[in-house]
Amino acid sequence: MKFSLGKWLLPVYAVLALTFLMIPIIYTFIFSFNDSLKSNITWRGFTLDKWLNVCKVQGGAVCEAFGNSLIIGAVATVAATVMGTMIAIAIVRYKFKFRSATSLLLFLPMATPEVVLGAGLAAQFLSVGVPKDMTTIILAHTMFCISFVVVTVKARVASLDPALEEAGRDLYGSPSQVFMRITFPLLLPGILAAALLSFALSFDDFIITNFNSGSVTTFPKYIYISASRGIPAEANVIASAVFLIALVVVVTTQVSAAARAKRLAKLG
Amino acid sequence: MSMATGAFAERGADLELVGISKRFPGFTAIESLDLTIPAGSFFALLGPSGCGKTTTLRLVAGLEEPTTGRILIGGKDVTNLKPYQRPVNTVFQSYALFPHMTVLENVAFGLRRRKLADPVGKAHEALRLVELDHLAARKPQQLSGGQQQRVALARALVNRPALLLLDEPLGALDLKLRRQMQLELKTIQEEVGLTFLHVTHDQEEAMTMADTIAVMNKGRIEQMGAPEQLYELPKTAFVANFLGQSNLFTGTVVGTTSTAISVDIAGQKIVVPVGRSHRHSGDVTIGVRPEKLSLHREAPVIDPARNVIGPAHVIDVSFSGVSTQYLIAHPSLGTIVVFAQNMAFGPVAHVGEQVWVSWDIEHGFGLADDPAENPRFAADTDTKSIAAQRHAALIAELGEA
């Protein structure tokens, strides 16, 4: 058989790239089962202890940080999604003064380096005299998440046929009924995507958080701090768990979407 | 909310537009429009795109606010009511079916908003009317264009609005389906007895379906009446050419009797009954429909009951099966169009042949337009007719010298 470079180049390259991407994740996953002591660098044998007693190490510091990240992510996501959706609808549907300026300003947090954004915000909190705690982190996260929500939802609003809302009004729907029964359900896929993006951005943000968190520790901040003296295996447990949950969510939605498409094709 | 939330309308209601105008930044869509549509009628608003017909419809639905004027439905002023407070429903051009709801929920939407009893039962009933009840559980995107159109109709009809607005609802359908839907719509309108206001640019559709047609142009209504009346006696050059085709000639009235006027058109005397002409002196534009013309290959015998034009020669023959269209160039009158039924096999005259055309005096009509405001001859970009007109102008100039 003749050897063909073109035939082999792409698969080899793809496998190498994927392996390179997966190694850190696989490493993290495997070392969550390491029977480690203080540092988790050398393999000392398999154990399920870390998974079963994840919150018992260092007085539950890992779990506390993880919990903080969840709370901050949830609150910032809800706040940013609600406000961002309203802004997106306003920008697409209504004409008002400084509309294009607003649109442009909303892009800035995405374009600005996080260090600048975080430091600037920290300086503002300091000058106004706001103590740094959970609230300041939530405010900071909401601020940069709004931009992403607006961009995501705006695309969805722009593609929404205005005749649908007009039909709703024509069919005796009051403005609030038209919003709840027509506009909102039709924007929902965009809003959900925006919310997921917000949560992901908030959950793994380190730079802006570090500037505005005071003594509060989030999961990324905990890992950063403990990296200097050895990350405990419990952190690997939580990281692996988050990865597995995300994987399950993605696979489930893909499979159910494929099943729905198949069902529609059969009906049509 | 009293009208909209009340029970089903027993019958259609009158629609009255009083002194309506609508200005958008930069242009005027409608200029002082007065219109009354009697209850129970199938009324068509016909006009080219941009004539203000869709804006009129949106004003009635409440989706736009008039700059001036009042809108009355069943004698009640609804000018300041919101769309959801008006006893009016619309079948949108794009159908605007809610993609996230089943066909049944689409149809039940209006009933549920008004909190009427048994919305599901009534929705099924409306779907049976348009013969789509078996698809009630589907989503709109799983239906064909014609089926979607019928769902949109059922969704509006189920509310028994006093007035149903149709915004070019058949525009997206192919010809055969459109014909079928035209008949179905007409039947449904007769069955339910509601007032239908149908906006369209398709003159054939308007003539097939409507009891009354209003021809709209540049924000004004040019003429209103029954389809036959508009077709047989158009008042303006716009109506004469938008509703079918017309041959128009302009000349000066040279004689008047109690029954007819005679008009000198480029040296030929054309007679029009007094009752069929809107103007009786000075310059007038008279017209005749192409299918009313007879084609002669020899000079016809003089008959006081017929107008004759000729000789002229055939410049184009197009055969379309049931009829043949001839274009005839007359040295001073420009191009004349003749539709002839194909009684024999194929065309009877050929390109270049010399012919005469004649028509029954009773078939001509005189327009109300002031010819001075319009070009003396309808603008024709056909090079042959332009050449013919130049030739005529040159001869006239030489004659004067």
> Are A163 and B92 a contacting pair at CB < 8 A?
yes
pLDDT at A127: 93
CA distance A149 to A80: 7
pLDDT at B391: 66
Find the CB nearest A167 among B4, B92, B159: B92
Question: Higher-confidence residue: B344 or B237?
Answer: B237
Taken in order B44, B50, B56, B61, the sign of the CA dihedral is positive
- B46 contacts: CB under 8 Å, gap ≥ 6: B53, B200, B201, B203, B206, B213, B214, B215, B216, B242, B243
Nearest CA in chain A to B155: A171
Chain A positions touching B108 (Cβ under 8 A) are none
The per-residue pLDDT for range A139-148, each reduced to its tens digit, is 999 999 999 9
Domain B2-231 homologous superfamily, CATH = P-loop containing nucleotide triphosphate hydrolases (3.40.50.300)
Chain B positions touching A174 (Cβ under 8 A) are 84, 113
Chain A positions touching B114 (Cβ under 8 A) are 172
pLDDT at B378: 43
Taking residues B243-258, what's their average pLDDT? 90
pLDDT at B6: 43
Interface of A with B (CB under 8 A): 161, 163-164, 166-174, 177, 181-182, 185-186, 264, 267-268
Q: Please tell me the distance in Å from A154's CA to the nearest CA on chain B.
A: 19
Nearest CA in chain A to B59: A170
pLDDT at B179: 82
Q: Please tell me the distance in Å from A164's CA to the nearest CA on chain B.
A: 5
The per-residue pLDDT for range B120-154, each reduced to its tens digit, is 999 999 999 888 999 999 999 999 888 998 899 99
pLDDT value at B380 more than 50: no
pLDDT value at A150 more than 90: yes
CA distance A182 to B85: 18
Lowest mean pLDDT among A48-62, A246-260, B258-272, B307-321: A48-62
Give the percent of chain A with pLDDT over 70: 97
Question: What three-state secondary structure class fits B28?
Answer: strand
Q: Please tell me the distance in Å from B149's CA to the nearest CA on chain A.
A: 14
Q: How confident is the model at residue B103 (pLDDT cuts 50, 70, 90)?
A: very high
Mutate to test the interface with B, among A164, A170, A187 (most CBs of B within 10 A): A170
Give the percent of chain B with pLDDT over 90: 46
Question: Higher-confidence residue: B384 or B94?
Answer: B94
> Are A173 and B109 a contacting pair at CB < 8 A?
yes
Q: Please tell me the distance in Å from B95's CA to the nearest CA on chain A.
A: 8
Chain A positions touching B92 (Cβ under 8 A) are 163, 166-167
pLDDT at B133: 93
pLDDT at B204: 86
The per-residue pLDDT for range A188-238, each reduced to its tens digit, is 999 999 999 999 999 989 999 999 998 899 999 988 888 887 788 888 888
Taken in order B157, B160, B164, B167, the sign of the CA dihedral is negative
Residues of chain B with CATH 3.40.50.300: 2-231
- A14 contacts: CB under 8 Å, gap ≥ 6: none
pLDDT value at B76 more than 70: yes
Q: How confident is the model at residue B372 (pLDDT cuts 50, 70, 90)?
A: low
pLDDT at B5: 40
Using a 10 angstrom Cβ sphere, with 0-12 exposed, 13-18 middle and 19 or more buried, the burial of residue B245 is middle
The per-residue pLDDT for range B259-279, each reduced to its tens digit, is 899 999 888 889 999 999 988
Residues of chain B with CATH 2.40.50.100: 233-400
> Are A173 and B84 a contacting pair at CB < 8 A?
yes
Chain B positions touching A172 (Cβ under 8 A) are 4-5, 84, 110, 113-114, 159
Lowest mean pLDDT among A97-101, A168-172, B6-10, B156-160: B6-10
> Are A161 and B142 a contacting pair at CB < 8 A?
no
Lowest mean pLDDT among A172-176, B209-213, B378-382: B378-382
Mutate to test the interface with B, among A171, A183, A187 (most CBs of B within 10 A): A171
Taking residues A28-48, what's their average pLDDT? 85
Taking residues B196-203, what's their average pLDDT? 90
CA distance A148 to A111: 11
CA distance B363 to B377: 20
Sheet of strand B220-225, all strands in order from the earlier edge strand to the far edge:
B88-91, B163-167, B195-200, B42-46, B212-217, B220-225
User: Is residue B249 within 8 Å of B285, Cβ to Cβ?
Assistant: yes
Mutate to test the interface with A, among B65, B90, B114, B168 (most CBs of A within 10 A): B90
Chain A positions touching B99 (Cβ under 8 A) are 164, 186
> Are B96 and A161 a contacting pair at CB < 8 A?
yes
Can you say whether residue B245 is alpha, beta or left, with left for phi > 0 and alpha for psi between -120 and 50 degrees?
Answer: beta
Among residues B83, B51, B47, the alpha carbon closest in space to that of B64 is found at: B83
Find the CB nearest A172 among B61, B63, B113: B113
Chain B positions touching A268 (Cβ under 8 A) are 142
Euclidean distance between the first and the last CA atom of chain A, given in angstroms as a whole number: 47
Taking residues A173-186, what's their average pLDDT? 95
Question: Higher-confidence residue: B170 or A193?
Answer: A193
Find the CB nearest B90 among A161, A170, A181: A170
The per-residue pLDDT for range B44-70, each reduced to its tens digit, is 999 988 888 999 999 999 999 999 999
Lowest mean pLDDT among A113-117, B154-158, B218-222, B272-276: B218-222
Rg (CA), chain B: 25
Taking residues A49-72, what's their average pLDDT? 86
pLDDT at B28: 85
pLDDT at B11: 64
> Are B83 and A177 a contacting pair at CB < 8 A?
no
Give the percent of chain B with pLDDT over 70: 89
> Are B82 and A163 a contacting pair at CB < 8 A?
no
pLDDT at B10: 56
Average pLDDT over chain B, rounded to an integer: 85
Map out the domains of chain A with their CATH numbers.
Answer: 60-231 (1.10.3720.10)
> Are A169 and B83 a contacting pair at CB < 8 A?
yes
Chain B positions touching A162 (Cβ under 8 A) are none
Mutate to test the interface with A, among B58, B85, B97, B98 (most CBs of A within 10 A): B98
Task: Enter the CATH code of domain B233-400.
Answer: 2.40.50.100
